[in-house]
Amino acid sequence: GESVGLHLPTLSVQEGDNSIINCAYSNSASDYFIWYKQESGKGPQFIIDIRSNMDKRQGQRVTVLLNKTVKHLSLQIAATQPGDSAVYFCAENMNSGYALNFGKGTSLLVTP
Amino acid sequence: DTEVTQTPKHLVMGMTNKKSLKCEQHMGHRAMYWYKQKAKKPPELMFVYSYEKLSINESVPSRFSPECPNSSLLNLHLHALQPEDSALYLCASSRTGQGSYEQYFGPGTRLTVT
């Protein structure tokens, strides 16, 4: 079965609001997590990553939070813009191996 | 340059055809990947090359044949495909084959098998 999943398949937010996309994982051996954004007709685009020895990491308008106790990962997007509309995937890497295990994806729709 | 390029962008082929997908990166990455992505689904790993050697084959049917001619190029040879093989084929690369390094994806090749 899939060890990485998302709580909400779709999320609709108003422009300017903050967005939170959640992800649950089940493998406590996962030591690296990554968020990708995929726009229609394009390949996944790296957003931000976090290692298991961290709880929080910030980028430009994005923050990733990792809660290892409950095996939960979230992506926060500040001041969401129309260009943020896309499908967002979380992915985990286990034991520093080759493969990324992707979650199902959340479709983010930003309305004016 | 953080770009992975893929050609062609679109490909339509019959079930008896032989075609190839191409991928190229010039970031000095030594791991390259092929993924298959169906509509509204996450990417699924097919193959991993590390230092030009095949490291992982995720039980992919033999009608898909990968090739890594050098550290910058990755090909996927297609032969006798089925309609259910229609999908977006994504190439990716990363600094090494061992994890904890982000994978950079190309734009994909949209494949339709008729």
Report the share of chain A in percent with pLDDT over 70. 90
- Which residue in B45, B103, B109 has the most chain A C-beta atoms within 10 A of its own C-beta, making it the best mutation to test that interface? B103
Residue pair B34/B89 in contact (Cβ under 8 Å)? The answer is yes
Instruction: Provide the token pair at A46.
Output: 């790296």
Q: Which residues contact B104 (CB under 8 A, 6 or more apart)?
A: A46, B2, B3, B4, B25, B27, B29, B92, B93, B94
The CA distance from B17 to the nearest CA of chain A, in Å, is 25
Chain B residue numbers with beta carbons less than 8 Å from the beta carbon of A36 are 105
Closest CA to B96 of B35, B53, B57: B53
Output the pLDDT for position A9: 86
Task: Encode pLDDT of A41-95 as tens digits.
Answer: 899 999 999 999 999 999 999 999 999 999 999 999 999 999 999 999 999 987 6
Output the pLDDT for position B102: 87
How deeply is A24 buried, as exposed, middle or buried, from its count of CB atoms within 10 A (0-12, 13-18, 19+)? Answer: middle
pLDDT(A8) > 90:
no
The CA distance from A102 to the nearest CA of chain B, in Å, is 6
Task: Encode pLDDT of B49-105 as tens digits.
Answer: 999 999 888 899 999 999 999 999 999 999 999 999 999 999 999 987 666 678 999
Closest CA to B88 of B65, B70, B111: B111
Output the pLDDT for position A1: 34
Q: Is B4 on the interface with A (CB under 8 A)?
A: yes
